[in-house]
Structure 1
Amino acid sequence: MPSDQPTWVLSRRQAIGARVRAAREHANLSQLELATMVGVDHKTIHRIEYGTSDPSLGLLLQIAQAVNIPLAELVR
Protein backbone atom coordinates (compact mmCIF):
# COMPACT_ATOMS: atom_id res chain seq x y z
CA MET A 1 0.00 0.00 0.00
CA PRO A 2 1.49 3.32 -1.01
CA SER A 3 2.15 5.41 2.09
CA ASP A 4 2.27 8.69 0.18
CA GLN A 5 -1.50 8.78 -0.28
CA PRO A 6 -3.60 11.25 1.72
CA THR A 7 -5.31 9.93 4.81
CA TRP A 8 -8.74 10.49 3.27
CA VAL A 9 -7.84 8.04 0.48
CA LEU A 10 -6.86 5.42 3.04
CA SER A 11 -10.11 6.03 4.94
CA ARG A 12 -12.20 5.65 1.78
CA ARG A 13 -10.35 2.45 0.88
CA GLN A 14 -11.17 1.04 4.33
CA ALA A 15 -14.83 2.06 3.97
CA ILE A 16 -15.07 0.35 0.57
CA GLY A 17 -13.43 -2.72 2.04
CA ALA A 18 -15.97 -2.81 4.86
CA ARG A 19 -18.81 -2.67 2.31
CA VAL A 20 -17.20 -5.48 0.30
CA ARG A 21 -17.00 -7.58 3.48
CA ALA A 22 -20.62 -6.83 4.43
CA ALA A 23 -21.85 -7.66 0.92
CA ARG A 24 -19.84 -10.89 0.88
CA GLU A 25 -21.23 -11.93 4.25
CA HIS A 26 -24.77 -11.00 3.16
CA ALA A 27 -24.28 -13.28 0.13
CA ASN A 28 -23.18 -16.05 2.53
CA LEU A 29 -19.79 -16.37 0.87
CA SER A 30 -16.42 -16.99 2.47
CA GLN A 31 -13.40 -15.03 1.33
CA LEU A 32 -12.20 -18.17 -0.45
CA GLU A 33 -15.51 -18.64 -2.26
CA LEU A 34 -15.60 -15.02 -3.42
CA ALA A 35 -11.97 -15.18 -4.47
CA THR A 36 -12.65 -18.29 -6.54
CA MET A 37 -15.64 -16.64 -8.19
CA VAL A 38 -13.62 -13.60 -9.28
CA GLY A 39 -10.36 -15.39 -10.05
CA VAL A 40 -8.05 -14.07 -7.34
CA ASP A 41 -6.36 -15.47 -4.26
CA HIS A 42 -8.33 -15.31 -1.01
CA LYS A 43 -5.56 -13.13 0.43
CA THR A 44 -6.45 -10.50 -2.17
CA ILE A 45 -10.04 -10.42 -0.88
CA HIS A 46 -8.71 -10.13 2.67
CA ARG A 47 -6.48 -7.18 1.70
CA ILE A 48 -9.38 -5.44 -0.07
CA GLU A 49 -11.69 -5.91 2.92
CA TYR A 50 -9.11 -4.46 5.31
CA GLY A 51 -8.23 -1.55 3.05
CA THR A 52 -4.62 -2.55 2.45
CA SER A 53 -5.02 -3.08 -1.29
CA ASP A 54 -5.99 -0.87 -4.21
CA PRO A 55 -8.35 -3.10 -6.21
CA SER A 56 -8.77 -2.37 -9.89
CA LEU A 57 -12.07 -1.19 -11.27
CA GLY A 58 -12.39 -4.49 -13.12
CA LEU A 59 -12.00 -6.47 -9.91
CA LEU A 60 -14.52 -4.30 -8.09
CA LEU A 61 -16.97 -4.86 -10.95
CA GLN A 62 -16.47 -8.62 -10.67
CA ILE A 63 -16.94 -8.54 -6.90
CA ALA A 64 -20.12 -6.48 -7.23
CA GLN A 65 -21.52 -8.96 -9.72
CA ALA A 66 -20.52 -11.96 -7.58
CA VAL A 67 -22.31 -10.58 -4.52
CA ASN A 68 -25.21 -9.32 -6.65
CA ILE A 69 -25.09 -5.63 -5.78
CA PRO A 70 -24.47 -2.54 -7.93
CA LEU A 71 -20.89 -1.27 -8.02
CA ALA A 72 -22.20 2.07 -6.75
CA GLU A 73 -23.17 0.38 -3.48
CA LEU A 74 -19.56 -0.69 -2.92
CA VAL A 75 -18.02 2.68 -3.64
CA ARG A 76 -20.69 5.09 -2.38
Structure 2
Amino acid sequence: MRSAPPDWVLTRRRAVGARIRAARLHANLTQQEVGERAGIDRAAYNRIEQGHVSPVLDSLVLIADAIGVPLADLVRQ
Protein backbone atom coordinates (compact mmCIF):
# COMPACT_ATOMS: atom_id res chain seq x y z
CA MET A 1 0.00 0.00 0.00
CA ARG A 2 1.28 3.45 -0.91
CA SER A 3 1.65 6.17 1.67
CA ALA A 4 -0.45 9.32 1.44
CA PRO A 5 0.81 12.01 -0.91
CA PRO A 6 2.52 15.06 0.57
CA ASP A 7 0.32 17.95 1.69
CA TRP A 8 1.40 20.13 -1.23
CA VAL A 9 0.09 17.51 -3.67
CA LEU A 10 -3.27 17.44 -1.89
CA THR A 11 -3.40 21.23 -2.00
CA ARG A 12 -2.78 21.26 -5.75
CA ARG A 13 -5.34 18.48 -6.29
CA ARG A 14 -7.96 20.58 -4.48
CA ALA A 15 -6.98 23.60 -6.60
CA VAL A 16 -7.53 21.59 -9.79
CA GLY A 17 -10.93 20.52 -8.44
CA ALA A 18 -11.80 24.14 -7.71
CA ARG A 19 -10.86 25.17 -11.27
CA ILE A 20 -13.00 22.34 -12.66
CA ARG A 21 -15.92 23.49 -10.51
CA ALA A 22 -15.49 27.14 -11.54
CA ALA A 23 -15.37 26.18 -15.23
CA ARG A 24 -18.46 23.99 -14.83
CA LEU A 25 -20.40 26.77 -13.11
CA HIS A 26 -19.27 29.30 -15.72
CA ALA A 27 -20.65 26.95 -18.39
CA ASN A 28 -23.93 26.68 -16.42
CA LEU A 29 -23.64 22.90 -16.17
CA THR A 30 -24.54 20.58 -13.33
CA GLN A 31 -22.26 17.84 -12.07
CA GLN A 32 -24.73 15.35 -13.53
CA GLU A 33 -24.53 16.98 -16.98
CA VAL A 34 -20.72 17.01 -17.00
CA GLY A 35 -20.61 13.45 -15.76
CA GLU A 36 -22.96 12.29 -18.50
CA ARG A 37 -21.03 14.15 -21.20
CA ALA A 38 -17.72 12.77 -19.93
CA GLY A 39 -19.00 9.26 -19.28
CA ILE A 40 -18.17 9.54 -15.58
CA ASP A 41 -20.51 8.65 -12.75
CA ARG A 42 -21.76 11.82 -10.99
CA ALA A 43 -20.46 10.63 -7.62
CA ALA A 44 -17.02 9.95 -9.10
CA TYR A 45 -17.07 13.35 -10.79
CA ASN A 46 -17.98 14.97 -7.47
CA ARG A 47 -14.99 13.32 -5.78
CA ILE A 48 -12.71 14.73 -8.51
CA GLU A 49 -14.20 18.21 -8.18
CA GLN A 50 -13.85 18.10 -4.38
CA GLY A 51 -10.21 16.99 -4.66
CA HIS A 52 -10.85 13.75 -2.78
CA VAL A 53 -9.42 11.56 -5.54
CA SER A 54 -6.68 11.94 -8.09
CA PRO A 55 -8.20 11.59 -11.57
CA VAL A 56 -6.39 9.85 -14.39
CA LEU A 57 -5.40 11.99 -17.34
CA ASP A 58 -8.10 10.46 -19.55
CA SER A 59 -10.77 11.61 -17.09
CA LEU A 60 -9.37 15.14 -17.04
CA VAL A 61 -9.38 15.23 -20.85
CA LEU A 62 -13.00 14.03 -20.92
CA ILE A 63 -14.04 16.57 -18.28
CA ALA A 64 -12.38 19.46 -20.12
CA ASP A 65 -14.11 18.42 -23.33
CA ALA A 66 -17.47 18.04 -21.56
CA ILE A 67 -17.21 21.54 -20.11
CA GLY A 68 -15.79 23.02 -23.31
CA VAL A 69 -12.51 24.36 -21.97
CA PRO A 70 -8.87 23.59 -22.77
CA LEU A 71 -7.33 20.97 -20.48
CA ALA A 72 -4.57 23.46 -19.61
CA ASP A 73 -7.16 25.76 -18.01
CA LEU A 74 -8.03 23.05 -15.51
CA VAL A 75 -4.54 21.99 -14.51
CA ARG A 76 -2.50 25.18 -14.62
CA GLN A 77 -0.76 26.27 -11.43
TM over 0.5: yes
Q: Distance in 2 between matches of 1:40 and 1:25?
A: 18
Q: CA RMSD in A?
A: 1.2
Query: What is the number of equivalent residue pairs in this alignment?
Result: 75
Residue identity (%): 52
Closer, same or farther in 2 for the Cα pair 1:3/1:28, shift >3 Å? farther
Give a deviation string over 1:20-71, Cα, whole Å, max 9, x none.
0011111111001110111111011110111001111011001111111111
Which segments of 5 or more consecutive residues in structure 1 lack a partner in the other structure?
A: none
**Equivalences for residues 1-76 of structure 1 within 5 A:** 4-76=4-76
Task: Give the TM-score, by structure 2 length.
Answer: 0.91
What is the DSSP-based 3-state SS (H/G/I as helix, E as strand, rest coil) of the residue aligned with 2:22? helix
Runs of 4+ in 1 over 2 A off after TM superposition: none
User: Which TM-score applies when normalising by structure 1?
Assistant: 0.92
